Amino acid sequence: MEAIYVLGVKGGIGKTTFSLYFAKRLSLMGKNVMYIDHDYFSFGSLILGHNDLGLLEEIERNLPIFSRSLKNIDNLYVLKLFSNPLNINKNYSLLSNKIQQVLNSILKREVDYIILDSSVGILPDNDIVMALLEELEIEKEGVFLSDMLSVNSTIKYAKLWENNIKYKVLVINMVPPIPENLSEAIKIANEVYNNYNELFNAAIVVQFDEKMYNYNPIIAEYENEKLNSILLSILYRYNTLK
Ligand SMILES: Nc1ncnc2c1ncn2[C@@H]1O[C@H](COP(=O)(O)OP(=O)(O)O)[C@@H](O)[C@H]1O
Ligand SMILES: [Mg+2]
């Protein structure tokens, strides 16, 4: 089992889109995938049609854990963590042991890949859920998403993950409203790759793609060459990307 963390310091830069895409592709490749929605507003779950409670609210209401937060949708396990953003700072640590045991057993039995769709600027010990994932002792890869404005912050952010994530890819995603200055973006990606080769194993630019806008893996069969190559680079540890 491995985990791909999709991370970034900004909202609206493609974390959910990429996470859903990777989850869907891996699933089509025959892998058992768990999509973990760590967005406080559960946007990815919503896209997949998971409108039920999140794990932390199950705990808070004393409901059986994973009875409502974990669903099987379109051949994916979808685990929603938050359904009430106001609860995110509550301390659930007393219950962590039990959750961890159950989560561990589900993952060990049935899951090849975890895709973590994270909230902005999440850190390995940000909250109880991240701490639980850290304790699972699985190999982790990180896709660090950035737009052209947030590259420097993304580099700093990736450094905070240096010891927790083995293989890291920097992605400059050309999301709106950034002007489509592709050659500039490619230049920046190359510079980052050359100057931070200890930190990032690969760096790549993903262009704005009309078909990716409002991507929903259940509704649309859609493939993007760049996203495929990011995924393959993770699976096979390629260090250079086109
Ligand atoms: N490369 C891209 N081309 C076109 N649209 C994109 C691209 N990347 C992201 N988007 C769109 O940008 C918006 C924000 O993406 P989202 O994945 O929700 O970001 P985040 O999870 O980081 O907040 C969505 O509407 C998404 O479809
Ligand atoms: Mg998101």
Residue to mutate, 7, 10, 17, 18, ligand 1, most ligand atoms under 8 Å from C-beta: 17
121: tokens are 């600027």
Condensed to tens digits (0 to 9), the pLDDT of residues 161-175 reads 999 999 999 999 999
Average pLDDT over residues 70-76: 96
Mutate to test the pocket of ligand 1, among 208, 213, 216, 226 (most ligand atoms within 8 A of CB): 213
pLDDT score at 93: 66
> Over 70: is that where the pLDDT of 78 sits?
yes
**Secondary structure of residue 204 in the 3-state scheme:** strand
The rounded percent of the chain whose pLDDT value lies above 70 is 95
SS3 103: helix
- Name residues whose C-beta falls within 8 Å of residue 235's C-beta, 6 or more positions apart in sequence: none
2-236 has which CATH code?
A: 3.40.50.300
Q: Is 71 exposed, middle or buried (0-12, 13-18, 19+ CB in 10 A)?
A: middle
The answer to whether the beta carbons of residues 192 and 155 sit under 8 Å apart is yes
Distance 49 CA to ligand 1 centre (A): 18
Alpha carbon of 105 to ligand 1 centroid (Å): 33
Task: Say how far residue 156 (Cα) sits from the centre of its chain.
Answer: 18
Q: Domain segments of the chain: what residues?
A: 2-236
| Helices first, then strands: H and E counts in the chain | 8, 8
Is the pLDDT assigned to residue 90 strictly greater than 80? no
Buried b (16+ CB within 10 A) or exposed e, 135-161: eeeeebbbbbbbbbebbeebbebbeeb
- For residue 213, give the ligand nearest its CA: 1
Identify the nearest ligand to the CA of 43 by its number. Answer: 2
Which residue type, as a one-letter code, is found at position 158?
A
Pocket (CB within 6 angstroms of ligand 1): 8, 11-17, 43, 173-175, 206, 208-209, 212-215
Average pLDDT over residues 116-144: 90
Which protein residue has the closest C-alpha to ligand 1 atom 17? 14
Calpha distance 96→81 (Å, rounded): 13
Reading the block at residue 53, the tokens are: 């409670």
Expressed in angstroms and rounded, the spacing between residue 117 Cα and the centre of ligand 1 is: 13
* Closest-approaching ligand to the CA atom of 215: 1
Instruction: Give the DSSP H/E element, type plus range, for residue 25.
Output: helix 15-28
Kindly provide the b/e burial profile for residues 173-182, where b requires at least 16 CB atoms within 10 angstroms of the residue's own CB: bbbeebeeee
